Amino acid sequence: MEPANFKQLKIINALIECGNATRAAAKLQVSAATISYTLGQLRKKSGHGLFNRVNGRLIPSQAALEMQAKYLELAELNSERKEITISTDAIIDFLYGQAESKADENSWSMRFIHMEPSTEERLNKLRNRIVDIDIGSRLPTEPSIVCAKLLESELCVMASQDHSFIQDEITHEEWFRCGHTRWLGDVATLVSMIEGLDLSGELMADRTICYESMNLLTLAYVCSRSDHIMLIPKAFIGPLSRFYRIKAVKPPPGLPIKFECFYHYHRSAKERVKSLRLSQVFADIASGE
């Protein structure tokens, strides 16, 4: 079978990323007829269809995914871009910067940007390769997006080392006696990252919230300078304690205990992501190395 040319491969890639022919045509600035004609040509060459339509969205076959991989390989060879963009919360940016493990000498330079609050906005930036890596809660499965677990950690209460009455554990009474800080992230995102989190339960709903922010680093600073507390992954405490006078405190019974964080990337960024060794970096963080 005659191999697909670069233009045809580009159309297949756009169809996978966009999910339908109308959006793919708009992205490539071509007509819907061009998309249809190209698919017809490739169908004749391969002898079978490359996509199935499910709930109004085009789902690629294995052959289509292989064509996309070839397109991304060719596009990468022709690209002069030497930068990788990572979308995440400021605390992940901070923790990565503190990690001793670094990317390979010849890897791409990293640029961290603030993560979009909604799932659909995060996916759109990955689909359109505005963002190379998204680090946060797990995103819905998509053919062109790879998902892998980055970090798993137990949860603890973050408190100042100079807290006026909390020692190594916190009781229910002390939990409600303290003022709390709260991360102003998307609720669905927060719930998906913390196993068993019930925001309507007594321990979470009846707290006294004294400070809120989208930036977890800001909240760590506030806790270090006051008697305010915060529920946070224990893996974050070590790196943060190098700069803030904070400690990990065992939470009272009834609170969730497990936190999970994932990284996602477009298949086109596979080699760049591999060079960053993200999983190893955060494994070192979690183990305190």
Closest CA to 15 of 43, 3, 2, 250: 43
Predicted confidence at residue 79, as pLDDT, reads: 58
Q: Which two tokens stand for residue 160?
A: 């100042």
**What separation, in Å, do the N-terminal and C-terminal C-alpha atoms of the chain show?**
53
Strand partners, 76: none
Domain boundaries, the chain: 6-78, 83-151+261-287, 152-259
Range 216-241 average pLDDT: 91
pLDDT level of residue 264 (50, 70, 90 thresholds): very high
Round the CA-based radius of gyration of the chain to a whole number and report it. 23
The pLDDT tens digits of the residues spanning 33-81 come to 888 888 888 888 877 788 888 887 888 888 888 888 888 777 766 655 5
Is a pLDDT exceeding 80 seen at residue 249?
yes
Q: Among the listed ranges 20-24, 177-181, 248-252, 284-288, which one has the minimum average pLDDT value?
A: 284-288
Q: Which CATH architecture has domain 83-151+261-287?
A: 3-Layer(aba) Sandwich (3.40)
The pLDDT tens digits of the residues spanning 71-120 come to 877 776 665 556 778 888 877 777 777 664 444 444 567 778 877 778 88
What is the average pLDDT score of the chain? 83
Predicted confidence at residue 77, as pLDDT, reads: 63
- Number of CB atoms found within 10 A of residue 240's CB: 22
Q: How far apart are CA 207 and CA 219, in angstroms?
A: 16
Strand partners, 142: 145
* Torsion from C-alpha of 7, 12, 18, 19, nearest 10 degrees: 150
pLDDT level of residue 282 (50, 70, 90 thresholds): low
Range 27-36 average pLDDT: 86
Predicted confidence at residue 176, as pLDDT, reads: 95
State how far the alpha carbon of 223 is from the alpha carbons of 46, 184, 228, 240, in Å. Answer: 61, 16, 5, 11
DSSP for 91-151? HHHHHHHH-S----TTS-EEEEEEPPSSHHHHHHHHHTTS-SEEEESPPPPBTTEEEEEEE
The pLDDT tens digits of the residues spanning 184-215 come to 766 666 667 777 777 788 888 899 999 998 78
Q: Domain 152-259 falls in which CATH fold? A: D-Maltodextrin-Binding Protein; domain 2 (3.40.190)
pTM: predicted TM-score of the whole model, two decimal places: 0.65
CATH match of 6-78 with 1.10.10.10: yes
Q: Do 152-259 and 83-151+261-287 have the same topology in CATH?
A: yes
